[in-house]
Amino acid sequence: MDIVFIEMITKKNKTLLICKDAGAANILKNYIEKKKIRCDFFLRSLLIKIFKKNKLKLIKSITDISNYNLIISGTSIDKFELKFIKKAKKLGIKSMVFLDHWSNYKS
């Protein structure tokens, strides 16, 4: 990880966490708590319990991610997060993805 990326995570920035699966949710929860990252959440409703300790600012739908400068996500089996990662790349928004399972992984 480069220095700029580390600074982006630790400074106050507009971060969006996107997650659909419980496996990724547990990994992401531990990561944002350890790094003390404040973020908005776009979650499947069942995952809200996992993040209950965090102050949740839930986003019910996303049409515009341009006001975020970092996207943190997992990798769901149906590639739910992928559309947001691709959109972020087009907009020049940094993204951080946690691989929580080896399914659909190309080496």
Report the chain's terminal Cα–Cα distance, integer Å: 20
Q: Which two tokens stand for residue 16?
A: 């969006």
pLDDT digits (tens, 9 = 90+) for 51-100: 766 566 666 667 778 889 999 998 877 778 888 899 899 999 999 988 87
pLDDT digits (tens, 9 = 90+) for 6-55: 455 545 678 998 888 888 888 888 888 888 888 888 877 667 677 766 56
Contact 86, 65 (CB under 8 A): no
How many Å apart are CA 56 and CA 88, to the nearest integer? 22
